[in-house]
Amino acid sequence: MANIQQIAKRAGVSVATVSRVLNHATSVSPKTRSKVEEAIKELNYEPSMLGRNLRNSESRLLLVLLPTIANPFYTEIINGIQDTAIASDYNILLCETDSKPERENIYFNMVKNKLADGVISMDPTVNMQRLNELAEHYPVILCSEYEEKGDIPYITVDSELAAYQAVKHLIKSGNEKVALITSDEKFLYARLRRAGYERALKEFHLQIRDEWIYHTKGLEFQYGVHAMRMLLKEEEKPTAVFAISDTLAIGALKAINMEREGSDPIAIVGFDNISFSSMTNPTLTTISQPMYTMGCQATEMLLSRIKGEKVENIVLDHELIIRESTMV
């Protein structure tokens, strides 16, 4: 492959002149520019994007932090991030932290060392103190999971309101015995969704029963199966369940299908509207988040921060998608 020195020799100009042409400087005469461009074409020269980015103190790379790539919730958000980044001549790097601080350190150092221009964090397990320290000097956006009263700009949905509307739907459908499958409440989304659950029960003067609130160790399918099995062992069983994620809800449906054949049905509502939620038996009623839009707007927010612009927090609308799992 030809280099810049060969281009300069072929065009009969200095290396500095070739550099000015490549960087679109206006100080080069049209005649000289034409000679350099002709030499570039003849020698099939392709400039190094890495070298150019380093000279401009930019990498054109955005980091996307998430705890695991396996969770289908992230798929559409990632698609939105990637499409918007590519349209602006950026690339993305998916950074699976696996909730390990040593991995976080690697990704944070990439930003500090100018190997990446900014971070979109979707990781609820991230060390917020260190992320806030990073955000003091580098562009960072929080997507979906965020920090209450924090300084890092975020985009999300109103989880408390969405959960309230989901549980209210269950109650108005004739269910007064509504259980909750939730996760570790050190995570904001879990606390907010439980608050919405309790708000709906209180509005209809229904008792909040500790034995009908099951905390899982994670959001994976198998935890939903186990949680539902435990709820089915209660002496007085719930007639409906609100699960704070679709993966937990789908696991709960599996347990019901396996262990309650011929028994009274149990209504289920999930949260996220992942692609699998319309493929279950029965199909899953769920809260739909505009995940692709969330990814697009998170990227636009980050690009604005990279330019030094101020951005405001965004709370997107959600929608209750009613399917067969609550038509019991």
The DSSP result for 239-289, as a single string, is SEEEESSHHHHHHHHHHHHHH-TTS---EEEEEE--GGGGSSSSPPEEEEP
Q: How far apart are CA 32 and CA 28, in angstroms?
A: 7
Could you tell me where the beta strands, DSSP code E, fall in the chain? 61-66, 91-96, 118-121, 140-143, 154-157, 178-182, 213-215, 240-243, 267-272, 285-288, 314-316, 319-321
- Asked if 316 and 300 count as a contact pair (C-beta separation under 8 A), the reply is no
Mean pLDDT of 299-315: 96
Residue 55 pLDDT more than 60?
A: no
Angle of the 188-203 helix axis to the 159-172 helix axis, nearest 10: 40
Q: What is the pTM of this model?
A: 0.81
The alpha helices in 57-124, defined as continuous H runs, are: 74-87, 101-112
Q: At a CB cut-off of 8 Å and minimum separation 6, what does 107 contact?
A: 63, 65, 95, 97, 116, 119
Q: Which domains does the chain have, with CATH numbers?
A: 4-47 (1.10.260.40), 61-157+291-316 (3.40.50.2300), 159-290+321-326 (3.40.50.2300)
- Asked if 153 and 204 count as a contact pair (C-beta separation under 8 A), the reply is no
Phi, psi angles (nearest 5°) of residue 18: -60, -45
Q: How far apart are CA 13 and CA 11, in angstroms?
A: 6
- Asked if 10 and 41 count as a contact pair (C-beta separation under 8 A), the reply is no
For 21-46, write each residue's pLDDT tens digit.
877 777 888 888 888 888 888 888 77
Q: How far apart are CA 281 and CA 216, in angstroms?
A: 23
Q: At a CB cut-off of 8 Å and minimum separation 6, what does 9 contact?
A: none
- Asked if 73 and 276 count as a contact pair (C-beta separation under 8 A), the reply is no
Least confident of 13-22, 100-109, 145-154: 13-22
- Asked if 169 and 320 count as a contact pair (C-beta separation under 8 A), the reply is yes
Instruction: Provide the 3-class DSSP secondary structure of residue 209.
Output: coil
| pLDDT classification of 321: cutoffs 50, 70, 90 | very high
Instruction: Provide the 3-class DSSP secondary structure of residue 179.
Output: strand
Q: At a CB cut-off of 8 Å and minimum separation 6, what does 281 contact?
A: 253, 257
Torsion-angle region of 294 (φ positive above 0: left; ψ -120 to 50: alpha; else: beta): alpha
- Mean pLDDT, the chain, rounded, equals 91
Q: Residue 306: its pLDDT value, please? A: 95
Residue 260 pLDDT more than 70?
A: no
Q: Residue 157: its pLDDT value, please? A: 97
